Amino acid sequence: MSAPRVMIVDDNTLNVELVSFVLGEAGFEVGVALDAAQALAKLPTFDPALVLMDIQMPGMDGLALTRRLKSDAATRHIVILAFTAYAMKGDEARMRAAGCDGYISKPINVGTFAAQVRQHLAGTTS
């Protein structure tokens, strides 16, 4: 069985390094994009099952990229999790309205993070 593929789309390199390490140690194959343009370039060949989508990025933000991916037949099957420090009232509803399938807040809990991602891949969490 092949490792589940996860793409991290985040402009914060420290977040990317930590999450890549945690997921890699848990048996995931990890791809990285530091902005929306890199994500769009890498998605066709990496073909992730799940994208961890930072919301606030320079250029195209994560919600705009999510809407674009969910409107494309080639990428709408990808599970997209909003991956952000935003925790204001109404933010989760806004992220779901853009097409995010779920939400994981930053900073991550390294002890439970990989299990959270697995649950979202399995569709066992909201």
Q: Where are the domains of the chain?
A: 5-121
Average pLDDT over residues 51-72: 96
CA distance 48 to 57: 20
Higher pLDDT: 85 or 54? It is 54
In this predicted structure, what is the pLDDT of residue 92?
A: 82
Report residue 99: phi and psi, to 5°: 120, 0
In this predicted structure, what is the pLDDT of residue 97?
A: 92
Instruction: Read off the pTM.
Output: 0.94
Q: Is domain 5-121 in CATH 3.40.50.2300, yes or no?
A: yes
The band of 110, judged by pLDDT with boundaries at 50, 70 and 90, is very high
Mean pLDDT of the chain: 93
The burial class, CB within 10 Å (0-12 / 13-18 / 19+), for 14 is exposed
The band of 15, judged by pLDDT with boundaries at 50, 70 and 90, is very high
The burial class, CB within 10 Å (0-12 / 13-18 / 19+), for 71 is exposed
Higher pLDDT: 87 or 60? It is 60
In this predicted structure, what is the pLDDT of residue 89?
A: 74
Average pLDDT over residues 58-71: 96
At residue 126, does pLDDT exceed 90?
Answer: no
